[in-house]
Amino acid sequence: MEVASPAYNGPQGLTKSPFSFQPQKPTDDGIPRSFYDLEKPAITNLDDIDSQSSTSQSSSDQDQLPPSPPSEQSSSPPSEDDNLSPFEKALHHPQPTSAPYPLPPSPDPISILPLDLKTPDNFVPRDPALIRLTGVHPFNVEAPLTPLFNQGFLTTLNLHYVRNHGPVPQVHDSEALSWSFTIDGLCSSPVTLTLSDLLSPRFEDEVVSYPITLVCAGNRRKEQNLVRKSKGFSWGAAGLSTSMWTGLPLGYLLSLAGIDTRKGKYVHFEGADQLPNGYYGTSVKLSHAMDPERGMMVSWLMNGLPLHPDHGKPLRVVIPGMIGGRSVKWLKRIVVSDKPSENWYHIYDNRVLPTMISPEESGNGTEEMVKVWKDERYAIYDLNTNSAVVYPEHEQQLSITPEGAFTIKGYAYAGGGKRVTRMEISLDQGKTWRLGHINYPEDLYRTQTESRIYGGRLDLSSNGRDASFCWCFWELELSISDLATAKDIVVRAMDEAMMVQPRDMYWSVLGMMNNPWFRVVIHREGNNTLRFEHPTQPALQPGGWMERVKKAGGDLANGFWGERQSGEESTPVSSKDPEKEISMTNPNISRQITLEELRQHDTETSPWFVLNGQVYDGTPFLESHPGGAASIINAAAQDITDEFLAIHSSNAKALMPTYHIGTLPPTSLPLLSSPTSPSSSSTPRPVFLHPKTFHPATLLSKTRISSDTKIFSFSLQHPLQPLGLPVGQHLLVRLSSTSPGGVKQTIIRAYTPISSGSLPTGQLDLLVKIYYSSQTSTGGKMTQALDALPLQSKVEFKGPVGKFLYLSPGLCSINNHTRQVSKFIMICAGSGITPIFQVLRSVLDNPSDPTKCLVLDGNRVEEDILCREALDKMAANNKDRCEVVYSLSRPQASWQGRKGRMDRHFFEEIVGGPDPNRKTLVLVCGPEGLEKGIRETFTGKGGLGWEEGDVIFF
């Protein structure tokens, strides 16, 4: 058996330095000092820390403290310091030039990318080499696998993976040192600390540095998504990175607050990132947090540099050996509790639910399913053992030579501090195995006793800790002749607990912790060449044997990697979980359209737009578009993919081939404008709304109107800014929501505010009926996401849109065609009152407007009648011009109004036939069932005889 060598012979190698370090001075009992000693009195203020520090160590002890490495003792050149902000100076440590262990490679310069300029992250510099997994925003990325591996043990900022659930909190250097977080809950002395406090001399002896590999729980999820679509996006095999982290041990910080270890069982963390379902938060066991072997820390340096915004600037938690989702960024609060976190993201993210639970069932919101989500047995903490092949690369070709050899290479990791102890490689699908050679670069740090780097003690050997927190590299040299006779390469890792990667996948609804054998298929190209095929490629990138097999009808879950066995029919696995794909292109169209040609059609008369890289001509649909011609005109020369897919039904998608005219080159897409948020500007706009661009407003308050209805009030750009919404039009509301399981989705819906659109109020008020999840319904995505928003959150708005306009007394416009009107019949239900209310208010607020209004408002119970007080007041003050009729389908015995549904009999009695002069318009807004019934009753065959043009649906 080949024994793993502690020497580092990884992808890049190292240059070793000869300097050595002094050993740590033990205490009187011969045991190194522990900074997790809970018997110490709790710290009630920072002065206490000074006094305890001064008494705990004599002057002679201080004189005998080990010296810092030469590179840490030397001062930076004045010119270098002069270029640093006070925040950067406070965190600055000279970069060591050599060491007997891996040092972080120097990062390449990065800048703000054009793709990010129109997103909330328009201040964040990033590397364009990173692969975006969830579109432009939020930023979820991994590096290309081979460059990540070739970079070596430590990963630069440029190639470090990022998992963001939403916008990155912006923290300016001038604010960073005063950034604070609290430690409270089950503790005798809650404490608030700033980053400046953590950097003070009183803490410097406790600061630690060591390498940690962070891994997303979704690493290798693309493989699960190809077997059966999960609720997560498609990570490849590079959802991991390793950095040198510097900070204070979490257990030490908790001890300052005097935690109650009898009652306390969990430690909660909460970040500052405002998300649709509140702030991101999670928890870990208190016993793990207090265990030095677990190595948890609160960190402010990554590879010796201040945290990048994507990685938690200025302060975050770093938890080795666990999934990355437990390492909360932008840390604001630590809470000691007797139970796990109840944060939405702790419950509905980072779980492995039983494999029989489907995506549909997981989101049904039933009481039983909520209990499943909240079951801590399914929560993921420690990483499982995993590995991947890097060399041979995907699609790499190798010439067949009789005496030639090829070294296969890859990475492996385990969780919970366990070491990967075995790597096995098979060329006959697991019948026989060969033992690979493992290199542990992490062990080079263990040889240094009390070394310091970036101001922190190199905390891997000084306390006798032998936990493994990092990836390792493996390799095995094989003869090319053996490869030429094999169908594939499969590899598996084993950890020191003898847990080995399974042969087959454990599919689960969130697609997490995927760790079956990593398989690379070998193709023989002619007589002289081998070609290698990895299982998948990340995100939407095509390629991989799994995608090929699935397209060919192979069952990827058949236990033979989709290869059909004798007597097995070709039945795609998608038949178990059908995915209805609607083609939105015309297969006969092959025209290439340039960006310049597209921009020539940014017009009202000939609008072209882009959807999924394809170009469409909206001109023929201007008159018949349900949302009005403005919806298409405002999309001219823009990429509307996100907006279209968020709003439109399968019926709309099926119409798209009719309007398909060509393809835009992929290189033009990043240069194309899209309806997203621009960079913030201090220059006030004349009106808030813009027809082509979403702009953010800030959530000020939520006012409960009924058990399921609230008014959401937003502040605009400045207090005297008018909304800019004409009467009869609506606006689009956009926000990013995270579904159960942590899947980001963009939601866009149309709403009509109840606030005035023309007066300079600086405020926008939305009346929203919230459709909560129930045993029979998943509820409303937008309404529940709005309800979950914390105050001060940003929500984006665009408009106006719509085909109806009320211009002046007795005059309106429908799809840009003016129409005289003497009466409105306004039919609504529930929150459908809002556009009706807008038009009604405009008519009745003008005493000289002779237009009559009949409002028919149908609901289930009396509580469901929205804006009732205002409606009754308007009707009482305008008896000659306004009548309001309420009808309840499930009234209480005390109800004195009309009873029953608004059906054909109801409309025959109250409305009757059409106006022969066609000066009466029916305005309708309500649920789908109501609108369908009105179409049949008013304009359908055998109906009341109204013309289709006389019935307007909002």
Q: Are residues 665 and 516 in the same domain?
A: no
Q: Residue 613 has what pLDDT?
A: 86
pLDDT of residue 598: 87
Question: pLDDT tens-digit profile of 885-940?
Answer: 999 999 998 999 999 989 988 999 999 889 888 999 999 998 888 888 998 899 88
pLDDT of residue 679: 41
Residues 413 and 482 in one domain: yes
- Identify the weakest region by mean pLDDT among 162-171, 361-370, 584-593: 361-370
Structure confidence by residue, pLDDT tens digits, 448-471: 766 889 999 987 765 557 899 999
Res. 155: pLDDT tops 50: yes
* Shared-domain flag, residues 721 and 834: no
Reported pTM: 0.61
Task: Check pLDDT > 80 for residue 55.
Answer: no
DSSP letters spanning 367-409: HHHHHHHH-GGGB--BPPPEEEEEESPTT-EEE--TT-EEEEE
Q: Mark whether 545 and 605 lie in a shared domain.
A: no
Task: Inform me whether the pLDDT recorded for 744 exceeds 80.
Answer: no
Which two structure tokens, joined as six digits, stand for 214?
């962070």
Where would I find the beta strands (DSSP E) of 569-717? 608-611, 614-617, 660-663, 695-706, 709-715
Q: 95-149 pLDDT, tens per residue?
A: 888 888 999 998 999 999 988 988 899 999 999 999 999 888 899 999 999 999 9
Confidence of residue 335 (pLDDT cuts 50, 70, 90): very high
- pLDDT band at 183, cuts 50/70/90? very high
Give residue 51's pLDDT band: very low, low, confident or very high (50, 70, 90). very low
From the candidates 122, 343, 350, 364, give the one annotated as an active-site residue.
Answer: 350
Question: Please, which pLDDT band fits residue 559 given cuts at 50, 70 and 90?
Answer: confident
* Same domain assignment for residues 508 and 640: no
Does the residue 532 lie in any domain? yes
pLDDT bucket at 258, cuts 50 / 70 / 90: very high
Q: Of 104-108, 480-484, 639-643, 851-855, which range is least confident?
A: 639-643
Q: What is the mean pLDDT of residues 497-506?
A: 96
Task: Tell me the C-alpha to C-alpha distance, in Å, between residue 487 and each of 237, 407, 521, 617.
Answer: 21, 17, 6, 49
Identified catalytic residue from 121, 127, 158, 216: 216
Is position 501 within any domain?
A: yes
Report how far apart, in Å, the C-alpha atoms of 151 and of each of 144, 145, 160 are. 11, 10, 11
Structural Rg of the chain based on CA atoms: 32
pLDDT surpasses 70 at 204: yes
Q: What is the dihedral of CA 535, 538, 539, 544, to 10 degrees?
A: -30
Output the pLDDT for position 136.
84
821, part of any domain: yes
- For the chain, how long is the longest CA-to-CA vector? 105
User: Given the DSSP bridges, would you call strands 140-142 and 162-163 parallel, antiparallel or unpaired?
Assistant: antiparallel
Q: Are residues 896 and 879 in the same domain?
A: yes
Residue 743 lies inside a defined structural domain of this protein: yes
**pLDDT for 33 beyond 60:** no
| pLDDT at residue 387 tops 60 | yes
- pLDDT 10s digits, 69-97: 333 333 333 444 557 888 989 999 888 88
On whether residue 333 sits in a domain, the answer given is: no
pLDDT of residue 447: 81
Residue 628: pLDDT band with limits 50, 70, 90:
low
Please tell me whether residues 439 and 564 are part of one structural domain. yes
Active-site residue flag, 349: yes
* 47 in catalytic set: no
Query: What is the average pLDDT across 345-365?
Result: 88
Same domain for 509 and 551, yes or no, is yes
Residue 938 has what DSSP assignment?
A: I
Which of 801, 817, 850 is the C-terminal boundary of a domain?
801
Number of H helices, E strands in the chain: 26, 43
Is residue 285 within 8 Å of residue 336, measured between CB atoms?
Answer: no
The pLDDT, as a whole number, for residue 566 is: 52
- Which CATH number covers residue 699? 2.40.30.10
Q: Is 350 a catalytic residue?
A: yes
Tally the domains of the chain: 4
Kindly state the average pLDDT of the residues 472-486. Answer: 96
The predicted structure's pLDDT at residue 389: 98
Is residue 97 a part of any domain in this protein?
Answer: no
Q: Which of 367-371, 391-395, 759-763 has the highest mean pLDDT?
A: 391-395
216 marked as part of a ligand binding site: yes
The band of 1, judged by pLDDT with boundaries at 50, 70 and 90, is very low
Same domain, 644 and 556: no
Beta strand pairing call for 208-215 and 240-249: antiparallel
Residue 465: CATH number of its domain? 2.60.40.650
632 and 539 belong to one structural domain:
no
The overall average pLDDT reported for the chain is: 84
Predicted confidence (pLDDT) at residue 275 exceeds the cutoff of 50: yes
**pLDDT at residue 563, rounded to an integer:** 81
**Can you give the pLDDT at residue 570?**
47
Task: Give the residue numbers spanning the domain of 649.
Answer: 595-671
Point out the catalytic residue in the list 121, 127, 310, 349.
349
For 855-889, write each residue's pLDDT tens digit. Answer: 999 999 998 899 999 999 999 999 999 999 999 99
List the CATH number of the domain containing 623.
3.10.120.10
Do the domain assignments include residue 335?
no
Question: 792 versus 474: which is more confidently predicted?
Answer: 474
Does any domain span residue 774? yes
What are the backbone angles phi and psi of residue 105, rounded to the nearest 5°?
-65, 155
